[in-house]
Amino acid sequence: MTVNRLGDDRVLITLCHKDMDDFLLDFKSMSLSDSHSRRVLMRIMQVACRRSGISVSGKSVNVEAMQFGDGCYLLVTVAGSRRGHAYRVKNSSLSFCYNAGSLDNLLDIIERLYKMSIMCSKNAVFEYNGEYYLIFDNYIPKQFRSVLSEFAKRKGGGITAARIREYGTAVCARNAVSHIGRHLI
């Protein structure tokens, strides 16, 4: 097994026929879905990176295999931090976003919801691109859903709500139905 450092983030590993036999690897059956191949390739990669002075701890790694004769080349490329590109939206399945359109329509919707006297605490109103949005962060009672489906358009869930919260302007960030509704009656 020979190890050549090709740059700050690349290592070329050459496995000859004898190395392939010693590690019990066959290029045709070599795959990360095979537990033996995966274990051996991970160990070879760690040893090669340690020999060449490249750290793989906490980083994503790309391994490419190319056959030559009875041996193979393994090109290991170390990318940036794993955490740097991971995006998650918390409670994305619990958010509901409705586009009320105009301010008049929004106030009509809030007045109808408020008159129902049903407690629905986690809701907010945002203005985004000249339109008004109602965002609910928990379960919406069935009676609310019927009013909302009649007077507003459902615009999605957590990702849409996160985008509107980030780029929109908060009109009422908490308990919008009760805060705005009490001033309408």
171 and 154: one domain? Answer: yes
What pLDDT does 34 receive?
77
Q: Are 99 and 180 within one domain?
A: yes
Going by pLDDT thresholds of 50, 70 and 90, the confidence category of residue 133 is very high
Give per-residue pLDDT as tens, 22-68. 888 887 777 777 788 888 888 888 888 888 888 877 778 888 888 87
The predicted structure's pLDDT at residue 84: 45
Sheet holding 10-15, edge to edge: 2-5, 10-15, 71-81, 59-68
**18 shares its domain with 60:** yes
Q: Does residue 170 surpass a pLDDT of 80? A: yes
Gap between the Cα atoms of 35 and 41, Å rounded: 10
Residue 88 has pLDDT above 60, yes or no: no
Report the alpha-carbon distance of residue 123 to residue 136 in Å, rounded: 4
Q: What residue numbers bound the domain in which 15 lies?
A: 2-85
Q: pTM value? A: 0.49
Distance CA 90, CA 183 (A): 32
Domain-ending residue, one of 56, 85, 114: 85
Among the candidates 46, 65, 85, a domain finishes at 85
For the chain, the three-class secondary structure string (H helix, E strand, C coil) is CEEEECCCCEEEEEECHHHHHHCCCCCCCCCCCCHHHHHHHHHHHHHHHHHHCCCCCCEEEEEEEEEECCEEEEEEEEEEECHHHCCCCCCHHHCEEEEEECHHHHHHHHHHHHHCCCCCCCEEEEEECCEEEEEECCCCCHHHHHHHHHHCEEEECHHHHHHHHHHCEEEECCCHHHHHHHHHC
Q: Are residues 117 and 135 in the same domain?
A: yes
Mean of pLDDT values over 14-18: 88
Q: Give the span between the Cα atoms of 12 and 3, in whole angstroms.
A: 6
Query: Rounded distance, CA 37 to CA 181, Å?
Result: 64
pLDDT bucket at 127, cuts 50 / 70 / 90? very high
Note the pLDDT of residue 80.
Answer: 66
Indicate the residue among 50, 67, 85 that finishes a domain: 85
Same domain, yes or no: 108 and 140: yes
Residues 80 and 102 placed together within one structural domain of the fold = no
Q: What's the whole-number mean pLDDT along residues 85-91?
A: 43
Q: Are residues 173 and 105 in the same domain?
A: yes
Mean local confidence (pLDDT), 158-182: 86
What are 58-87's pLDDT values in tens digits? 778 888 888 877 888 888 888 765 444 444
pLDDT at 92 over 90: no
Q: How confident is the model at residue 126 (pLDDT cuts 50, 70, 90)?
A: very high
Q: Bridge-partner residues for 128, per DSSP?
A: 131
185 pLDDT exceeds 80?
A: no
Token readout for 133 is: 């949005």
- Number of domains present in the structure of the chain: 2
